[in-house]
Structure 1
């Protein structure tokens, strides 16, 4: 009846009705995404000032802050330097096998950081502490800088560089005064991802015996399920995230970097390395060995030692089945939740849309442990039947990876002409039906990519799964973690192999999207 009445409404009114439904859906999702931040604020208020002072202003928190500060100050700049250097070598020089090296530099994204730490800690047991953490964090996270910088280097018009060179600047000066400033946005984006991952990472730091807020929160949670100490530590971690976001915004600035004018951009002429070819290849080889070789050799060694006995197919099969099931559910739910916001962002932009979109995106900047901590406390206090259920776990995955779904959907919907929606409504389709049958159908490749991106992220998620999964849940990540906690490295090896195999499609997809962005 509603559809029949709506079909008889003028097109302008029907368009408003459809936007209203999408706006309502996007608002509800935005409110849900604010739950973790609201929970932290409520905990701080209800705990009272004296309790906050007692639990926050203590030596242990100061130690965690100092550890975090050292971790960020060392890892982020070194990751930026390494990522920019490798991107320049693979994209702007006559490097032998540049395409192969470019693929190898992205491949570490397919190896979860806690698998990297497992490989290094088992191969070099004395390699731990700050030095070990920084080393593994760099080789695990530098691709977050490499990928956007490499894509940006391929898009830059070399005309500015030619002009600078014609004015007498040496190649080094051209790079630092002309090229590097144009890479600021890409560098800041990659550095922010590295910094946020450092704040939320858990498995890497535990295996390397390095205390951070994430490890302290999990320890407190395992001791007291709903204790104020873990919740207030979560509040301090949120403040660290906000400081990191503010710092990135300040460094990024508001300069424009778009090319304006007549003519068309061309590809830069690759630089001949000459005598520097061998050192460059040696450097790339060292990074590939550190980021991939150590892990693969270590896994092969443990699989050899364990023999066929470590391949317990019944347990591995059950873990793989649960991992795939949860990952697919998370991908579908997150994509469905992001659809109203993605449609509004493209079809009905405005001030309120920007506010709602910010609410959808900010949750991606929060460590997964904060989302899990908030949902644990809320379900224990006001919705106990939902505590440690599949529904709560999937909802946590959807919140954590909501930005992945939103960004993919937004670009896909933007490629569908709005005139097709209007034509469908003119032919009598209600707004929701027109959007679903026309826009979403044409945007189905982007929808599938969004589901895949979220699913692959959920398959490797560890902290939220440890805190929220129902009793008896055994995903690849949790089963791997349980075995490494028992120092059963041989038994954990098959799960690590499967985690890498599950993660590699994400790496290939990111690489393909990067190439597609520059028309290759």
Structure 2
């Protein structure tokens, strides 16, 4: 039963690929090759990959450094930094891009902040939490006995960090980096607002402006191939990294905070600088325009209507996504092997596709095979499930992997059937992971833009669509209330993610309670 439900979930995620195959066959793959094998498409490819590489590398540096600072050092106020470092997840990329453009318009001589460099900065500030959260959670849970042995042998804190600690959390680093890269490849809002010609913007233009399905299908197919290559490379690297293991489960003990010494003010200033750029600038832009926007006639009613629409579609999409994610996540955790790994990797392909491709594939699916669902909230929820299924699967699989399978064996030996065993044993043990996955999916759905623009029922408005419609015409004041409310609502599941990671359980100060700092503790320096 678990395998059947998992295959259903993967089948749903493959709908966009089926659409691309059908359209490619209708157009003719020879014609599509002629379209895509051009200098213009090569430029799209290079620019998209360059942007993903730059943002991915920067996200790894910022995310890992932030995680180390809040979990391993005596950074002042690290408990507060631990929360603030995750909050950029609540800022959609198009809201951040809108904020930078809005701030540029406030200069005495207006400056339009756009282009590749601005897009790289904006996307890095929006995606580094995808690395920070899993790495911080992994560092919090790592047994510190091996680090103590390395320190007793004379290794400095920095040497221990790079040679041992980061090796133990390499799967979390690779997983976070993969999410960041896939996010960049599929992002539409930021690159569209900042006028950077990438795959997603070119596909959206071909579909919605030029009505050129051949070019759009060709570009989408290239994007799928790029995603597959990235997933294969990441999978091989992860397989090598997971060979790092220890005998026994170890004992989870608080980590002694390493003093930063002379580097403390510089680390604090750098961390604060990142947060100012990621949170301060968008907040400043939204505050600047909020008062003018909310004072417009009818604006409060329009904002409340859009908020209701966002919450309704986000709740429906989250329920459907998690219903599909739970069986696949349990299969990945309980039946490890090539088959489950293949299913797990497959759902990431659609995750990297732009929302416009997923939207059009479901329009085709609804009109051709499921017309009663067309122009309904459930069709939009299906798009969300296709796009964000990996987020739920990862959370469920992580929680199920930490639930002892022997308890399920005991339940079955006592005569419980599979369903009762799941209800009485498996579900309670994996419930925290399901909650974390649901929070992440809810957060991401509330920020999703292109699929919502294409599939929302007639008359339904969300905060994302209203924000986009105002930003597209440069009406920053009218867009500000939607941006503020969207960020505030998204901050709630973000807080749940931070609380669930265990990172904020680390106490401020040099050492956790009961773990006095040894007199010979070294400063955080090579």
- TM-score category of the 2 structures, normalised to the smaller one: 0.7 to 0.9
Deviation at 1:264, TM superposition (A): 3.7
Alignment of 1:14-413 (within 5 A): 19=1, 22-124=2-104, 125-223=111-209, 227-255=213-241, 256-260=243-247, 264=251, 266-306=253-293, 308-309=295-296, 312-342=299-329, 344=331, 353-360=340-347, 362-380=349-367, 386-410=373-397
Change (3 A) 1:173 1:60: same
1:418 aligned to 2:408? yes
Q: Deviations over 1:278-326 (max 9, x none)?
A: 1112111111110111111111110133352276122112211111111
**SS class of match (1:474):** coil
Is the Cα–Cα contact under 8 Å of residues 346 and 410 in structure 1 kept in the other structure? yes
Q: Distance in 2 between the 1:445 and 1:304 partners?
A: 39
Question: Which of 438-447 and 388-397 deviates more?
Answer: 438-447
Q: Deviations over 1:179-209 (max 9, x none)?
A: 3333422221111111000001111111111
Which of 496, 502, 506 is the aligned partner of 2:489? 502
Q: Distance in 1 between the 2:266 and 2:504 partners?
A: 31
Gaps of 5+ in 2: 105-110, 508-526
With the length of structure 1 as denominator, give the TM-score of the two structures. Answer: 0.85
Gaps of 5+ in 1: 1-18
Alignment of 1:452-467 (within 5 A): 452-467=439-454
Q: Deviations over 1:38-68 (max 9, x none)?
A: 3323433443243112221122211211211
Q: Figure out how many residues of one structure are paired with residues of the other and give that number.
A: 497
Change (3 A) 1:226 1:23: farther
Q: Distance in 2 between the 1:66 and 1:211 partners?
A: 11
Change (3 A) 1:200 1:454: same
Change (3 A) 1:359 1:59: closer
Q: Distance in 2 between the 1:346 and 1:73 partners?
A: 30
Q: Deviations over 1:105-157 (max 9, x none)?
A: 11111111111111111102432111101111111111111222222333334
Is the Cα–Cα contact under 8 Å of residues 331 and 450 in structure 1 kept in the other structure? no
Q: Distance in 2 between the 1:451 and 1:91 partners?
A: 25
Deviation at 1:344, TM superposition (A): 4.8
Q: Distance in 1 between the 2:238 and 2:378 partners?
A: 39
Is the Cα–Cα contact under 8 Å of residues 483 and 491 in structure 1 kept in the other structure? yes
Q: Distance in 1 between the 2:381 and 2:208 partners?
A: 21
Deviation at 1:453, TM superposition (A): 3.5
Deviation at 1:265, TM superposition (A): 5.5
With the length of structure 2 as denominator, give the TM-score of the two structures. Answer: 0.84
Higher RCO (Cα < 8 Å, 6 or more apart) = 2
Is the Cα–Cα contact under 8 Å of residues 439 and 497 in structure 2 kept in the other structure? no
Q: Distance in 1 between the 2:424 and 2:17 partners?
A: 36
Q: Distance in 1 between the 2:336 and 2:164 partners?
A: 35
Question: Which of 194-203 and 71-80 deviates more?
Answer: 71-80
Change (3 A) 1:208 1:41: same
Is the Cα–Cα contact under 8 Å of residues 89 and 129 in structure 2 kept in the other structure? yes
Is the Cα–Cα contact under 8 Å of residues 206 and 216 in structure 2 kept in the other structure? yes
Q: Distance in 1 between the 2:149 and 2:19 partners?
A: 55
Deviation at 1:270, TM superposition (A): 2.0
